[in-house]
Amino acid sequence: ILRDLFHTDCNAVLKALQPIFQEQGMTETVHNWEDHGYLVTYIKKNGSFANLRIHPHGLVLVDLQSYNDHMKGREEVDQLLNKVEERMKELFHGNIKRVKRLPAILRGGVIDRYWPTADGRLVEYDIDEVVYDEDSPFQNIKILHSKQFGNILILSGDVNLAESDLAYTQAIMGSGKEDYTGKEVLILGGGDGGILSSNIDQMVIDGCKKHMRKTCGDVLDNLKGECYQVLIEDCIPVLKRYAKEGRMFDYVINDLTAVPISTSPEEDSTWEFLRLILDLSMKVLKQDGKYFTQGNCINLTDALTLYEEQLSRLYCPVEFSKETVCVPSYMELYP
């Protein structure tokens, strides 16, 4: 609740709201910081509690934590907040700039629905089932089911790909503008289905071939076919080996990791890893070949610009273009 307050207003707000919490049988503790307003805590016998923060500049915050995960508990919280809003409107005769009520966050639930975007925003997904949850020697692997997006692959807390995300696959393969007929293609990563592919984590492949078949089909059922082979290896030794053998590709598709959020390459080993991948990939790419990779959230302009600068530092000159797509399960635009 936002309104311009003075010190006397802070005291008036406290006096007006105290009875609402006291009616709930809550124990009250008041902290007064003179020119910095009030912090009041209310604790109920069942462990539920509320924090009331009254700022002199006009912001009044009410945070509630309840251990009731049933409809009655949620109704009680709504009724209490309704009373707070009504009392504030009465106190200031409706002269309040803004009232904002945020949805409740469920902590400690059996299913974790909260996952951050690349630029640090918290998203609550409509996840209703844990399909797969295992730790490999390299990372935690989760496959969760979303009502909107189908099964979602999450690696160490990072949303990778959902069954809804055809736009991602199409973009990283050139958005339908390329003809791969008879071409040599090297995919780095791509454990969710994807010609010659190198992925270090067998457990990602095992999980995806069972639970992500809408994205990978049956291609992962066999690691080798008439026109493709999947290598369960670290891609760096593979790239070095191919470079030494003189093996060249028409396309290299890097599906390993996004552009790092950090803008300090000298402090972030991921940037060093990306530079190494770029350099090695250029050594196995034909002169007229193409290299496709993902970027990161479009809001991370500094990191994306820094990645483009890395391209100018390669041992060979390159030209590049970029395309931005909306990846449904990411809930953000991705170049």
pLDDT in tens, 41-62: 999 888 889 999 999 888 899 9
Domain ranges of the chain: 7-91, 163-334
Query: Which tokens is 202 given?
Result: 């067998």
Helices (H), the chain: 7-22, 71-91, 166-172, 202-211, 213-216, 235-245, 269-283, 301-311
What pLDDT shows up at residue 267? 54
Q: Decide: 238 and 256 in contact? Cβ < 8 Å.
A: no
Selected catalytic residue, list 255, 268, 288, 302? 255
What are the residues facing 127 on neighbouring strands? 146
State how far the alpha carbon of 308 is from the alpha carbons of 94, 266, 289, 314, in Å: 52, 16, 19, 11
- Structure letter (DSSP) for residue 226: S
What pLDDT shows up at residue 197? 59
Output the CATH code of domain 7-91: 3.30.160.110
What pLDDT shows up at residue 71? 62
Residue 255 is a catalytic residue:
yes
User: At CA 183, angle to CA 181 and CA 186, rounded to 5?
Assistant: 125
Do the domains 7-91 and 163-334 sit in the same CATH topology, yes or no? no
Residue among 155, 235, 171 nearest 197 (CA): 235
Residues of the chain with confidence (pLDDT) below 70: 1-8, 68-72, 191-198, 259-268
CA atoms within 13 A on the CB side of 61: 11
Nearest-angstrom CA–CA distance, 231 and 196? 8
Question: Which class does domain 163-334 fall in?
Answer: alpha beta
What pLDDT shows up at residue 109? 82
